[in-house]
Structure 1
């Protein structure tokens, strides 16, 4: 109901004052109830017929709730608290919670309010501990605050406002995690799931949902603390995500129905199960495929209809008549917070970028078929639909012709089970003007929404497996190895196939004759009828075993990419996954690498192997599978695609791995790529982005590389006045050009740090064992779970032989030209050892006889902690983790035999290049640093000057992968510059070395001065900041910049 009143009218203040007077006088509960009832009626929050007094909380109960208003129980007391304050009496809270629990057991999910007129407390089933802050509580401290009570009741306790605007603020307030209604609904869904999670139908849905999520997001599909602590599919956290996805899909479906005029309030009362199935929507509008019995329809099967009714009443309070196409995406972003989306790797394309790409590539929308094979939240499909409708209207197309062509003009695919809901809603809401026009013109506006759940790369169902002559086969993977087989000729008739599968599924559910669906949908071909007859029989058997509720939906969608690859499109556009190969689901990883290496020849090996992401392969695969010869493609890609080494073979535009194999050729000169790195703020993706365009060529034509110039965008992201300029790009090849690239080595992976890094502490024993040290684990702010939370009592205050203690340098001990105090680590080797005492069968991979007695005990303890707490997918023992890629062994080998390179320079692997000479030959280098052995101190000073210079940073920034805050990972990228090996006879090299020596002396003096000034307060951040400021203005720093600048320019 829309409520309009004069807030200055004194009657409202008087009504609130009467409530407080009765509270202050300690009047009977019935009197307070009466005063509150008067206020509810006076403000229009509740009508008289929507309130009941002394209402039993459940059928058969002998108790009675003081007042029931809408869906809310209100229980009154003379004094809510045990004292004068508002802290509630636990017995009163328990009483209200019991009423709510009784109601929930009978399927009615309600809110509850405990009040004495002054203090108001909000409760719901599963609310947990009492919270006394808004929106969970409210205090009416004076009559003038009646408007505050009114708003609290309206927005949190009763949710009685109608006609709410569906903007981002309103959606977040009413459907996001901060809303008590959301918390109530999620708690109710969780209870439903926990009570029924062992049902076969729910187990199947949950398993398929997880498998698809893993395909979409990789092994990091749910990781709270980084790559070393993944949360696996059978955990409570994944169950929680499944529940929230269920909530989202339900709300999104109701929103779409309401936006097309379906009275979801009435539907909630007459047929609540249909809120998730869309039968009424189909009957009223002809729209099919918007709502289906998919992974998230399980509440219908376990008595969740009362919860759906509650949800529908809340959704119905919004005005969805003009809901924008991105409404579903807004709902998703409201429920899944930004940090969690970041952990899941979910980043959706901003509308301004999708719009620009659509306008760039779709230049003849009435004659082009557009496909987004990774449609995510539906931004691209919505923009493409909007573009098509606008162009058709300008061309004066008749409504029926427009809608009929739109059916095939824009298609989306995504393997993410919730993203498909978002994209379908986006397509449908964007197409609403065309659907309405056709309907108003007297035409049948029926259509099946062409957005499908599917694997665009076709890895889960390879073409060779799916096609047996003229049929497509989907494996159910049950005990009987059931197969669902579909005729290709039928699947290609998308509208007919979708309608048939919907009718078959509905008939099986109702116990009808599903074979009649063949007649109802005009299936007259005998071969098609025979194949579908066997499939219908198989689906009926699955239904009898409680497993059918998903397969019609699953199969109908998963076959769609294969069919699309046979018909081809004119434009492929979108934003593919950016996950690395080593993050992809293990069941697909080998197939992805095989495609990259053996089908398209774009795999970059060596030290680029682990850095490669799937985006380049996705681009190539979609060109191959879906694009017509002469068709065009535009994808959002990581900025590194423009120049990084792992993309070097992909940028060639010639994708052919074997002489006799398939050839895919593209012309990257179609349009200059877009460089989006300089847009501000650059936070629309986790790392800076680019857009690459290409035209597909015939296989016998040579592709043209992505080279030369790109179009750099400058200005504010999304602004109309963004400037574009053509700039040259520097390509980083697969191998570096400087000889130092072959010498630079990464430091050792000394992880988990709490098991190795230590701080010396006092040995309180009267007699101290010599030579030993007593240590505690060193904990840092960057430690990740589960390691930061471990009980380390067994290695705290531990005495260990000193010969196992080593100095280690890492990022926090390196500043320009200087080293700070190294950290200490205990390692399973002794000082002076040329090799690690390894034994595959020993604890943690170590031969215990190679360790001193006390260190043996410690090693066994930390190895056990590693095995008990490492990620389940991690198969490395502790030594294999410590000496990963031989990065510890290589340092020991140098220490035992430096040959003719006795001096080492260490430099940072990320951020602004920072280098220093390592003074201690026995010091080790940790993984965040690289080290380079040098022939002489002069060569070391030469490298110091180059690496620490601004000239190098400016030159190498274009080759470094970008983060949200600029160039991020240095690694070996600097050696892709033409930095020559030091030549003691070359005058320019001598000048650089001397400049580096002078800068090192000045930096050391500056560091000594800082230590005198700051003492223990001095941090590496302070040192770096002060030294860089000094280098910018000092003669020593300017000499370095001059000499290094000339070298880099000449090379």
Structure 2
């Protein structure tokens, strides 16, 4: 490629300035050094912390601040180089403009705290040399760099899942018409807005009409860096493609705003948004994919809970911590911003149509019955299964009942986002205030013929044995009365930053030692390893302070780890002691009366995997990653393990499960109660016992064997089990 053929696009920007670039490395080294000598650093770091701790929580750090500073300065340099591209300035003049240019001149108020320092001449020259004489691409320039700078774990904390450009284009194609007033309420780096503005620029309309159309494009985001990125993106687009003389800039409507609570608009904007209420033709975008429990601020959790109740989509108490922020956005934003008959079109987590916690959401109570779903059943564009959902707002005075909303038109796309099928989706059960999961009509017909298994009420989810780093241990030594324990290095190495905790050579009394297992060690028909855990409980699995006082070693250790828990727990958590966390929803105490045999299976995953545990004198506690059923009958346990490991059951529950969550969905299928006199049941028991031995042998030969490998090896034998299962589960 010749020099003149080079085009500065999102991919090239990552190559030139991303994590693996020399410029990135040198700039961060420079910024680290400047934190030691620059007077303005402390004040600006404090200001930054106040803003971003609300977005990312406690895990913000100096390194993140430095990375953010790099990002803002880089974009400033790139912008100034384009602003002054027709001035024929030499480097010294450009550098002077870089140092003196106040970004407030461009209405970029959001990032004041990052300009505590400037890059030196050497760094600025290297950056400018990389983009000299390069044509700038038309489109979202900074999407890839934005994704890289804001690492996936931090993006998850703010609920950001980036939308592929092809999907953005398809959604805009489907809904945008020139001149429409549009809002992206969580605009991120501006992908949707840039796409729309580019269409405006490329249209055949007059310059005056184009300016008016651009003024109808609005973007909000709670993250100041997202707003900054969007503004730079749009400015670069206008400079490169719209203003030949580079002499005038539009006032574009991109603001730091919490779209759910716009009354609390960032004070520096001085923008009265009330005049925009219920004035938009189109709301489009990809709202945050967070749940209530992911939110970092307790007061904000309360506001979200109250808002979901006002919107009449608040789930029942057992699901409150799973309130989907995307679901709240889908109701709250139209209510506040869309005009009557305005359209909302969002990328959404698929759980809004198949999660139990979104039952009320599926009433679609403020929309007309012209809904549309885009599904990507064979292609998850994100790590989380997703859909696109489109609706037309008609206010709370809705004449339609919930049943009128169904069936829903649906389009199915392949992995190239090519339309493969148009069909209808409906619900298993439609009621006045909501609906059960939404599926394709042909799948609904199958499920309507199913009879729920009586085992559904016999299986329970395990206890929340977290933080693991506090209660999992390795035995160092034993005496007659005590065992000496230290942190389990495997568990400690996997702990999140706030729960990194190491204890060494602590003594506890024997009675407080229990066993458990991790989901990663559960493979079909077998559990590879068991772990030791400390639980400060009596025989009834209660926290017994009198017992602990008579057990001073255990009491001392519990007080130590409980203190660490109370110091490091999320501020939003109302669970105030370690034991209360371990016994959340009484799921630990419920296991006090577990019987001699348990069958366990995974609570989430691509496929079911089940195994039998012999619990005689083992004191095994099942964790929340798994479900369990305890029985006195070893044969019943093996019967269930054989059924739950059958290939077709894993296949069929994928129709109805929410993302990777399995929970009790196996029992929506007609798994019969064990009958010791049934010949097929007897055969399944024998198969279960045989397969347990077989998989144990596979493990002994290869201790690292995983579930996928086990299924491959025993595939033909599993098909024989399937033939038996088909005879007892008729559907």
Q: TM-score range by the shorter chain?
A: 0.7 to 0.9
Structure 2 residue 447 is the aligned partner of structure 1 residue 747: no
CA shift for structure 1 position 601: 0.8
> Which residue of 648, 657, 660 corresponds with 1:951?
648
Q: Please name the residue that 1:555 is paired with.
A: 269
SS at match of 2:714: helix
* Residue in 2 that maps onto 1:971: 663
Give the structure 2 partner of residue 416 of structure 1. 223
The offset of 1:805, in angstroms, is 2.4
Q: Distance in 1 between matches of 2:319 and 2:100?
A: 51
User: What secondary structure is seen at the aligned counterpart in 1 of 2:242?
Assistant: helix
What residue number does 1:448 align with? 251
- Match of 2:505, SS state, is helix
Map residues 676-755 of structure 1 onto 2, 5 A cutoff.
676-679=376-379, 682=380, 684-698=381-395, 699-702=397-400, 704-705=404-405, 707-708=407-408, 710-716=410-416, 721=418, 723-726=420-423, 728=425, 738-755=453-470
Tell me which residue corresponds to 1:637.
348
Larger mean Cα displacement after TM superposition, 923-932 or 171-180: 171-180
CA contact under 8 A between 2:648 and 2:722: conserved in structure 1? no
Question: Given the superposition, is the C-alpha separation of residues 888 and 433 from structure 1 closer, same or farther in structure 2, using an over 3 Å criterion?
Answer: same
Q: Is the 8 A contact 2:486 2:504 kept in 1?
A: no
Alignment partners' CA distance in 1, 2:313 and 2:557: 46
The equivalent of 1:314 in structure 2 is 127
Could you tell me whether the CA contact under 8 Å between 2:221 and 2:256 is conserved in 1?
yes
Question: How many Å separate the matches in 2 of 1:203 and 1:754?
Answer: 31
Please name the residue that 1:610 is paired with: 321
Indicate whether 1:1018 and 2:713 are aligned.
Answer: no
Candidates 972, 986, 994, aligned match of 2:682: 994
8 A Cα contact 1:905 1:932, kept in partner: yes
* Aligned-partner SS, 2:614: coil
Q: Which residue of 2 aligns with 1:837?
A: 543
Larger of the two Rg values belongs to structure:
1
Does the aligned pair in 2 maintain the 1:667–1:697 contact within 8 Å?
yes
Match of 2:261 among 439, 458, 481: 458
The match for 2:301 is 589
What is the aligned counterpart of 1:381 among 154, 177, 193? Answer: 193
2:722 matched residue in structure 1:
1038
> Structure 2: how far apart are the matches of 1:254 and 1:777?
54
1:368 to 2:78 alignment? no
**Further displaced range: 730-739 or 809-818:** 730-739
Q: Residue 570 of structure 1 contacts residue 631 of structure 1 at CA under 8 Å; is this kept in 2? A: yes
Give the secondary structure class of the aligned counterpart of 1:325. coil
Residue number in structure 1 paired with 2:692: 1004
Range 367-376 or range 270-279, more displaced: 270-279
SS in 2 for 1:573: strand
Tell me, yes or no, if structure 1 residue 579 matches structure 2 residue 310.
no
The CA deviation at 1:1043 is 2.5
Summarize the Cα distance change of 1:983–1:606 in structure 2 as closer, same or farther, 3 Å threshold: farther
Partners in 2 of 1:453 and 1:751 — Cα distance? Answer: 36
Q: Tell me by how many angstroms 1:639 deviates.
A: 1.8
Distance apart, 1:602 and its partner CA = 0.7
Q: Return the alpha-carbon distance in structure 2 between the equivalents of residues 258 and 957 of structure 1.
A: 56
Q: 1:448 to 1:935 in 2, by over 3 A?
A: same
Query: What's the CA shift for 1:407?
Result: 2.1
State the alpha-carbon separation in 2 of the partners of residues 1037 and 814 from structure 1. Answer: 20
Q: Give the Cα separation in 2 of the matches to 1:262 and 1:701.
A: 64
Task: Note the C-alpha offset of 1:884.
Answer: 2.2
Once the two structures are superposed, the pairs formed by residues 218-297 of structure 1 within 5 Å of their partners are: 221=56, 230-232=58-60, 235-254=61-80, 256-258=82-84, 263=89, 265=91, 267-277=93-103, 279=105, 289=106, 291-296=107-112
Paired residue for 2:504?
Answer: 793
Shift of 1:555: 2.8
Q: What SS does the aligned partner of 2:112 have?
A: coil
Deviation at 1:751, TM superposition (A): 2.7
Listed one character per residue, the Cα deviations across residues 514-551 of structure 1 (whole Å, up to 9, x for unaligned) are: xxxxxxxxxxxxxxxxxxxxxxxxxxxxxxxxxxxxx6
Q: Which residue of 1 aligns with 2:576?
A: 876
Question: 1:817 & 1:271 partners in 2: Cα distance?
Answer: 69
* Aligned 1:385-400 pairs, distance under 5 A: 385-390=197-202, 392-393=203-204, 397-400=205-208
Match of 2:370 among 669, 694, 714: 669
Higher relative contact order structure (alpha carbons within 8 Å, sequence separation ≥ 6): 2
Displacement of 1:350? 1.4
**Equivalence for 2:440:** none
In the alignment, the residues of structure 1 paired with residue 465 and residue 151 of structure 2 have an alpha-carbon distance, to the nearest angstrom, of 33
Q: What secondary structure, in the 3-state scheme, does the structure 2 residue paired with 1:876 have?
A: coil
State the Cα distance separating 1:700 from its structure 2 match.
Answer: 4.0
Write out per-residue CA displacement over residues 430-471 of structure 1, whole angstroms, 9 at most, x where no aligned residue: 44576337x69xxx955212222222112562xxxxxxxxxx
The CA deviation at 1:246 is 3.5
Q: Do the aligned partners of 1:267 and 1:275 also contact (CA within 8 Å) in 2? A: no
| Alignment root-mean-square deviation, CA | 3.9
TM-superposed deviation, 1:1003: 0.9
For the pair 1:783 / 2:477, whether they are aligned, the reply is no
- 1:906-945 maps to which residues of 2 (within 5 A)? 906-911=600-605, 912-921=607-616, 922-934=619-631, 940-945=637-642
Return the offset for 1:573: 0.6
Give deviations 1:9-68, integer Å, cap 9, x for gaps.
xxxxxxxxxxxxxxxxxxxxxxxxxxxxxxxxxxxxxxxxxxxxxxxxxxxxxxxxxxxx
Kept after mapping to 1: 8 A contact 2:81/2:94: no
| CA drift at 1:383 | 1.3
Shift of 1:1034: 5.4
2:558 alignment partner, one of 859, 863, 883: 859
CA distance in 1, matches of 2:321, 2:436: 13
Alpha-carbon displacement from aligned partner over 1:810-857 (angstroms, at most 9, x marks no partner): 425544344556433332235xx1232344xxxxxx862253x44334
Q: Is the CA contact (8 Å cut-off) linking 1:171 and 1:334 kept in structure 2?
A: no
Give the distance between the partners of 1:1010 and 1:191, measured in 2 at CA.
55
Contact 1:903 1:933 in 2 (8 A): yes
CA shift at 1:595, angstroms? 0.8
Aligned equivalents of 1:451, 1:263: Cα separation in 2: 30
The alpha-carbon distance between structure 1 residues 916 and 563, as it changes in their structure 2 partners (threshold 3 A), is same
1:827 to 511, 517, 535: 535
What secondary structure is seen at the aligned counterpart in 2 of 1:631? strand
Q: CA deviation at 1:345?
A: 4.5
What are the superposed Cα offsets for residues 385-411 of structure 1, whole Å, 9 maximum, x if unpaired? 222334x41xxx332333233322x22
Q: What do the CA deviations read for 1:895-933 (whole angstroms, capped 9, x no partner)? A: 4xx7xxx75422211222122333215432122211124
